[in-house]
Amino acid sequence: MVAPAALTGNASTAHCSQALLGRSCRTARAPAVPTLCAGRVGHIGPTKRPVDARLAEPGMASDSEETSSAYASIHMMLCSGDDGAGGGSEPSYLKYTDVDLVYENGSYAKLLRHVSANSDLLELGPATGRMTEELRSRGCRVLAVERDVEAAALASAFCDTILVEDLDSFDPESALAPRTFDTILAADVLEHLRDPVSLLVRLRPYLRENGSVLASLPNVAHGSVRLALLEGRFPYANSGLLDLTHLRFFTEESAHQLFTDAGYCVNGIERVTRGLDETEVGFASSTLTPALKDLLDADLNALTYQFIIEATPGPGRSTARPKLGWPDPTGSREALINAQARHLETLRRLTNEQVASTDTLRRLTAEQSETIAALERRVSAMADELAVIYSSRSWRAAQAIRLIALARLSSLRMRLSQGSSPPR
């Protein structure tokens, strides 16, 4: 591995330019005064978020302003596709630049809430470093691994060290040792790898005793994907649940299995929730019948867009209360409460229907019982009538006559069978 090159002051401008235009950079260290660079770079290009007012304060060092200006020029050049030869297209990593770190029901905000300030952190796949910038502002010391050399050059403004490596073939022993980390952060990264289990196994020795992996994973079992599949479609897109670059797809069960197969214990799980019609995966309204909507609304996983997972080295799945203030693994906050309320409402409706059916069955059973009781009374009355007949004097007198008649009839049949003439 090439030894990291320290970039400080104006030197960072030249090195980053060389990395972007020559694509020869393997490792880089952050500029000596990275704050302004972080703020400016994080908001350059076609983004929707405004510049953070904290990064626009006067009194910034002039060399940092020059560095920031260089980053801006480079970034704008990449956005326009001008690499010196003319033409080109927007780099794929730019879609990860405009990320919302504030939206409470977003994966980045949820992950950030569980990162301790002033910690040593290994960030996998930082792209241009929008999230890294926030980590740096919280006093975290960040070592990042990014495979795109252009994105890495921009993200280097926010990292202590950044390594340009493919995570599928990344060798932590040669790149990281002897460093260890409080947190390994994988925000929307593991689903892009051929073998995320192998990477997690290789990184396990570089977590400190109380260290953990924080990861966000998309949920392929979201209700919108299920409905699209019912229509015979699996619509890949440029981003979202069915991102074209996703190599692995996860449900809650397989997300747990990913970490347990790598030798981790899942200590906490939180959910980013989206309604059935709030994702980029479309479906026909006719597909969502009332009965199917009730079933999906009652299933928390059908409303889960992403899983936010904390895992620590160790076998099995923890039954202890999740640490770092995580909610219980069954869900999170208002979204979970709403989902549970919908579930309870569905159960109430089904219970009422069952009660109505039970009442109908009880009524029919009562009617049948009355019919059976009437028949039993009729049979009993007929038996009483027969008993009276059998015990009467006339029946007994007629019984003797019947016996004599039966005897004569039997004798007559015997004579006829022998060919004799009947008596006159």
Query: Each residue of 331-345: pLDDT tens digit?
Result: 444 555 665 666 667
Q: Do the domain assignments include residue 261?
A: yes
User: Are residues 420 and 326 located together in one domain of the fold?
Assistant: no
Per-residue model confidence (pLDDT) at position 59:
33
Q: Is 31 within the bounds of a domain? A: no
The C-alpha atoms of residue 185 and residue 340 are separated, in whole angstroms, by 30
Give residue-wise pLDDT tens across range 245-275: 999 999 999 999 999 999 999 999 999 999 8
Contact 249, 191 (CB under 8 A): yes
Is residue 198 domain-shared with residue 332, that is, in the same domain? yes
Same domain, 402 and 268: no
Same domain, 209 and 115: yes
Is 131:112 a contact under the CB 8 Å cutoff? Answer: yes
The amino acid present at 56, given as its one-letter code, is A
160, part of any domain: yes
Ranking 51-60, 79-88, 135-144, 351-360 by mean pLDDT, the lowest is: 51-60
What digits encode the pLDDT tens for the residues 286-300? Answer: 999 888 888 898 888
**Residue among 130, 61, 52 nearest 93 (CA):** 130
Q: Are residues 102 and 247 in the same domain?
A: yes
Lowest-pLDDT range, 50-54, 122-126, 324-328, 346-350? 50-54
Residues 416 and 278 in one domain: no
239 contacts 269 by C-beta, under 8 angstroms: no
Could you tell me which residues come within 8 angstroms of residue 272 by beta carbon, excluding any fewer than 6 positions away? 105, 106, 107, 110, 216, 304, 305, 306, 307, 308
- Give the number of other CB atoms < 10 A from CB of residue 66: 15
Residues 313, 398 share a domain: no
Q: Residue 118 and residue 129: Cα distance in Å, rounded?
A: 18
388 pLDDT tier (thresholds 50, 70, 90): confident
Q: Is 120 found in the same domain as 204?
A: yes
**Average pLDDT for the chain:** 75
Of 121 and 72, more confident: 121
Residue 297 is predicted with a pLDDT of: 85
Q: What is the pLDDT of residue 337?
A: 61
Q: Name the band, by pLDDT with cuts 50, 70 and 90, for residue 304.
A: very high
- Residue 255 inside a domain? The answer is yes
In a domain, 422, yes or no: yes
pLDDT at 182: 96
Higher pLDDT, 100 or 142: 142
Residues 149 and 265 grouped into a single domain: yes
Q: What pLDDT shows up at residue 21? A: 32
382/388 Cα distance (integer angstroms):
10
Residue 412: the pLDDT is 83
What are the pLDDT digits (tens) for 177-201? 899 999 999 999 999 999 999 999 9
> The tokens 């899983």 sit on which residue?
307
Q: What is the pLDDT of residue 355?
A: 87
**Do 103 and 198 belong together in one domain?**
yes
- CA neighbor of 113 nearest in space, from 40, 168, 187, 195: 187
**What is the count of structural domains for the chain?**
2
Q: Output the pLDDT for position 327.
A: 45
pTM for the predicted model, two decimal places: 0.58
Residues 123 and 238 in one domain: yes
Residue 420 within a domain? yes
User: pLDDT at residue 139 above 70?
Assistant: yes
Domain that holds residue 212: 94-338
Q: In the prediction, which pLDDT does 407 show?
A: 85
Q: Is residue 316 scored above 90 in pLDDT?
A: no
Nearest partner of 137 among 115, 153, 152, 163, judged by Cα: 115
Helix (H), strand (E), coil (C) string for 237-284:
ECCCCCECCCCCCECHHHHHHHHHHCCEEEEEEEEEECCCCCCCCCCC
- Residues contacting 385, CB < 8 A, separation 6+: none
pLDDT at residue 186, as a whole number: 96
Question: How confident is the model over 75-92, as a mean pLDDT?
Answer: 47
143 and 223 inside one domain: yes
Task: Please give the distance of CA 342 from its chain centroid, rounded to a whole number.
Answer: 19
Tell me, yes or no, whether 82 lies in a domain: no
Dump the DSSP string for 201-227.
HHHGGGEEEEEEEEEEEEBTT-HHHHH
Domain harbouring 128, CATH code: 3.40.50.150
Would you state the torsion angle of the CA atoms of residues 27, 32, 34, 35, taken in this order, to the nearest 10 degrees? 160
Gyration radius of the chain's alpha carbons: 40
Looking at residue 40, what is its pLDDT? Answer: 24
Q: Around Cβ 298, how many Cβ atoms within 10 Å?
A: 18
Mean pLDDT, residues 82-97:
51
Range 310-347 burial, b when 16+ CB lie within 10 A, else e: bbbbeeeebeeebeeebeebebbeebbebbeebeeebe
- Is the residue at 58 inside a domain? no
Q: Which two tokens stand for residue 346?
A: 């569905």
pLDDT value at position 344?
Answer: 67
